C-alpha cells in the first residue's frame, strides 16, 4: 500500500459505559475530562475478528487448569500454541511469520516477550486516546438487586445482595488514528511479511466502522459507531491529530462540526488522494463541507 491514512473514529455511548476505570466509573483524566483508551477501541475489533475465525493473538481466552480444573486465562505462549498449532521455538523467522499472520498483530503490532523469542513490532495502525467532546456528560449509578443472598458475609442473611451498574448518560468519543504501511519495511526486507497491504487496510476499515455497534455486552449495549473520517494521502504527507479540528454539540440532531477540519485539509488538497466520511444521518448533522469528500450512511454503508 503506497499511501498513508489519517482519520477519526467516533463512538457514542448512551446509558452505557464505553471504558471504565478500576472504580467502575467512566475513565477520566486528572482534570476530569472523560476519555476512552485505545485498548477500549481495539478490543471490539479484535473480538469481531475472533468471532470471524481469524487468527487473533492478543485476546483473553480461557482454559481449565491442569492442576485443579479451575478456569484460568491462557498465558501468551499457550495462546500462541492454541492459534498457530505449535510451541514457541528459537526460530525467530518462523515466529515472525506466525505473528504477522495474526490479524491483530498485522494491524496493531506486538510485544512478544517469551524466553526463546523477544520480539517487538510497531503496528502500522496507531490510535490516540478518544476524548469525549460532549460537555454535559454525567456518570449515572444504578443499584441492582441480585437474586441471591451472600452467605459468605452472613449465614443468616434474609435478603439478596445489592450490586451497582455505572453508566454515562451520554458521551461522544472521538479517536484519532494513522496508518503507516512503511512500519513493516524492515520486516518485508527480512522476508517474514508482505507488508501492510490494501487488503489489510480494507479489512481494518470494514471492522472499524461496525465493531463497537456489534460488541453488545451489558456495559457496552448503547455504545455504537456514529462517525468515521478516512483521509488517504501521499505516503510522505504528515498530518496532526485530526480530532483537534472537530467539535460536537447537541441540537435537535447531534451536530459534528467539520469547518476547521475542512479549512485545514483544503490547504493540502493536492496531496490528498481521497476523503470519506461516515455518519448516522438519522441522528446526526454535519456542519462544514470538506471539499471532495464522499459521505456515507454508517449503518447502510450507502453514499448519502
Three-state SS for 130-186 is: EEECCCCCCEEEEEEECCCCCCCCCCCCCCCCEEEEEEEEEEEEEEEEEECHHHHHH
Query: In the structure, what pLDDT confidence band is assigned to residue 221 with cuts at 50, 70 and 90?
Result: confident
Which percentage of the chain shows pLDDT scores above 70?
Answer: 95
Query: In the structure, what pLDDT confidence band is assigned to residue 143 with cuts at 50, 70 and 90?
Result: confident
Got the DSSP string for 235-258? TT-----GGGG-EEE-SSSEEEE-
Contact 248, 256 (CB under 8 A): yes
Contact 257, 174 (CB under 8 A): no
Write down the pLDDT at residue 117.
84
**β-bridge mates for residue 295, sequence order:** 277
Write down the pLDDT at residue 20.
93
Write down the pLDDT at residue 151.
66
pLDDT in tens, 90-120: 889 999 999 999 999 999 999 998 877 889 9
Which percentage of the chain shows pLDDT scores above 90?
Answer: 85
Candidates 145, 189, 148, 192; CA nearest to 164 is 145
Q: Is the dihedral of CA 91, 106, 38, 245 positive or negative?
A: positive
pLDDT in tens, 255-291: 999 999 999 999 999 999 999 999 999 999 999 999 9
Contact 253, 244 (CB under 8 A): no
Measured between alpha carbons, how far apart are the two ends of the chain, in Å? 27
Query: In the structure, what pLDDT confidence band is assigned to residue 44 with cuts at 50, 70 and 90?
Result: very high
In a 10 Å sphere around its CB, with 0-12 CB exposed, 13-18 middle and 19+ buried, how is residue 203 labelled? middle
Flag whether pLDDT at 153 surpasses 70: no
Ramachandran bin of 174, using left for φ above 0, alpha for ψ from -120 to 50, beta for the remaining angles: beta
Residue 220 burial (CB count, 10 A): 21
- Per the listing, cell 512500519 goes with 183
What does the block give as the cell for 79? 495462546
Pairing between strand 162-179 and 223-233? unpaired
Got the DSSP string for 64-82? E-TTT--EEEPPHHHHHHH
Check residues 227 and 152 and name the one with the higher pLDDT. 227
Residue 136 burial (CB count, 10 A): 8
Write down the pLDDT at residue 61.
95
Write down the pLDDT at residue 247.
97
User: How do the domains of the chain map onto residue ranges?
Assistant: 4-52+124-297
Contact 226, 246 (CB under 8 A): no
Amino acid at each position: 500500500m503506497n499511501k498513508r491514512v489519517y482519520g477519526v473514529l467516533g463512538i457514542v455511548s448512551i446509558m452505557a459505559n464505553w471504558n471504565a476505570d478500576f472504580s467502575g466509573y467512566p475513565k477520566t483524566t486528572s482534570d476530569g475530562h472523560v476519555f476512552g483508551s485505545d485498548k477500549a477501541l481495539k478490543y471490539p475489533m479484535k473480538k469481531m475478528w475472533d468471532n470471524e475465525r481469524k487468527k487473533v493473538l492478543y485476546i483473553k481466552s480461557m482454559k481449565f487448569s491442569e492442576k485443579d480444573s479451575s478456569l484460568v486465562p491462557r498465558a501468551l505462549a499457550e495462546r500462541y500454541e492454541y492459534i498457530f498449532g505449535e510451541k514457541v521455538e528459537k526460530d525467530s523467522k518462523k515466529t515472525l511469520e506466525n505473528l504477522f499472520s495474526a490479524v491483530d498483530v498485522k494491524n496493531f503490532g506486538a510485544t512478544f516477550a517469551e524466553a526463546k523469542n523477544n520480539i517487538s513490532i510497531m503496528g502500522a495502525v496507531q490510535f490516540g486516546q478518544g476524548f469525549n467532546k460532549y460537555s454535559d456528560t454525567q456518570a449515572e449509578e444504578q443499584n441492582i438487586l441480585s437474586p441471591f443472598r451472600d452467605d459468605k458475609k452472613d449465614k443468616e442473611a434474609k435478603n439478596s445482595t445489592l450490586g451497582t451498574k455505572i453508566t454515562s448518560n451520554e458521551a461522544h468519543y472521538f479517536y484519532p488514528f494513522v496508518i503507516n504501511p512503511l512500519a513493516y519495511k524492515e520486516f518485508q526486507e527480512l522476508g517474514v511479511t508482505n507488508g501492510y497491504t490494501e487488503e489489510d487496510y480494507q479489512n481494518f476499515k470494514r471492522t472499524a466502522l461496525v465493531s463497537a455497534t456489534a460488541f453488545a455486552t451489558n456495559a457496552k449495549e448503547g455504545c455504537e459507531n456514529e462517525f468515521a473520517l478516512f483521509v488517504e494521502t501521499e505516503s510522505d504527507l504528515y498530518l496532526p491529530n485530526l480530532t483537534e479540528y472537530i467539535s460536537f454539540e447537541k441540537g435537535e440532531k447531534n451536530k459534528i462540526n467539520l469547518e476547521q477540519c475542512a479549512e485545514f485539509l483544503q490547504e493540502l488538497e493536492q496531496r490528498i488522494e481521497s476523503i470519506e466520511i461516515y455518519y448516522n444521518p438519522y441522528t446526526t448533522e454535519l456542519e462544514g463541507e470538506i471539499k471532495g469528500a464522499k459521505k456515507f450512511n454508517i449503518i447502510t454503508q450507502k453514499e448519502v
